[in-house]
Amino acid sequence: MNQMFAMRVFRCIVEAQGFSAAAERLDTTHSSVSRHLQHLESTLGVRLINRNTRRMSLSAAGERYYAACVDILDRVDAAAQAVTLEQERPSGLLRISAPLVVGTLELAQWLPAFQQRYPDIQVDLSCSDPFVDLVADGFDVAIRICGPLADSSLVARLLTVSPMVLVASSAYVFRHGLPRSVAELSEHRLLTFAGTAQWSLINDRDEPISVTPESSFHTDTIAALHACALAGGGIAAFTLATVQDDLHAGRLVRILPDYTLGVRHYYALYPHARHLPAKVRAFVDFMAEYYRLKAQG
């Protein structure tokens, strides 16, 4: 059995979150997907996926192997694509849908370099947090920040995974001090985003503690939440990718650094296409590189 294909099947099972969904994406049968996984586990001598009739989850070995598969397969695909498309120059209008946080807080960090690298691509960026219908609305690609994606007809490339962290401005900490425990959060001014009924804080032992924040400021835009936090309004939750530069510059500081509020996945989504346009591939590869370098600090 082709081990490279078996690796692709394993990756698809993980990203599709199930055997049936993976079989549909790969245009094969559930039994074929299962056989490829069994072959892979037999070859490696480890269980990659823990599964029963109701759910599946990656084993510790499976998590490590998945990360390696993604790296290897992306490199193999990139090499093949480079050979195939080396004569095609990325160009034309690129319609992008992105969350407000990417458009308002990160645009200046990636757009100038992207336009310098690909001067023949014209960017049309639409910023909104709700998911859009890429095909119906005419978008080439979308960036979304969310939990693990449900099964979709779209191709989803994971750009990065970022923990949610609590932060406050240095000025706020100077005036009000640092909370030393989760319980002490109730003594502080808390800033919340629309739809946030609870904060579920997780320590380094994966033990969750639920907090119902009594918000002193509530908003439906991340940009306003960010501005309020920078202005010393209180403690707020963001992905580390969003506030990493602020933390490095000292504009914000981590609050309860031993805790996170889970993680968020950054995806590039695009309609399934046999021959992906060079402009889309260029953008997705660029954003993957951008977030990879950002994660490295």
Average pLDDT estimate for 192-205 = 85
Cβ contacts of residue 204 below 8 Å, gap of 6+? 258
Q: What is the pLDDT of residues 85-144, one digit of tens each?
A: 655 678 889 999 999 888 888 888 899 999 999 999 999 999 988 888 888 888 999 999
In this chain, the answer to whether the domains covering 3-84 and 89-158+264-295 adopt an identical fold is no
Q: Report the percentage of the chain scoring pLDDT > 90.
A: 47
pTM score: 0.66
Q: Domain 162-263 belongs to what topology? A: D-Maltodextrin-Binding Protein; domain 2 (3.40.190)
Residue reference for tokens 């691509």: 121
Q: Which residue has the higher pLDDT, 175 or 197?
A: 175
Q: What is the pLDDT of residues 265-289, one digit of tens each?
A: 999 999 876 678 889 999 999 999 9
CA 185, 187, 193, 195: dihedral to nearest 10 degrees? 80
Domain over 89-158+264-295 is classified CATH 3.40.50.150:
no
In the chain, where the domains are located: 3-84, 89-158+264-295, 162-263
Q: What is the pLDDT of residues 33-82, one digit of tens each?
A: 889 989 888 888 999 998 876 778 888 998 999 999 999 999 998 888 77
Q: What is the pLDDT of residues 229-271, one digit of tens each?
A: 999 999 999 999 999 999 999 999 999 999 999 999 999 999 8
Q: Max Cα separation, the chain?
A: 64
The pLDDT, as a whole number, for residue 207 is 84
The pLDDT, as a whole number, for residue 182 is 93
- Angle (nearest 5°) at CA 167 between 166 and 169: 165
Asked whether the predicted pLDDT for residue 159 surpasses 70, the reply is yes
- Angle (nearest 5°) at CA 138 between 133 and 141: 75
Q: Domain 3-84 belongs to what topology? A: Arc Repressor Mutant, subunit A (1.10.10)
Q: How far, in Å, CA of 267 to CA of 144, rounded?
A: 5
Q: Please, what is the average pLDDT of the chain?
A: 88
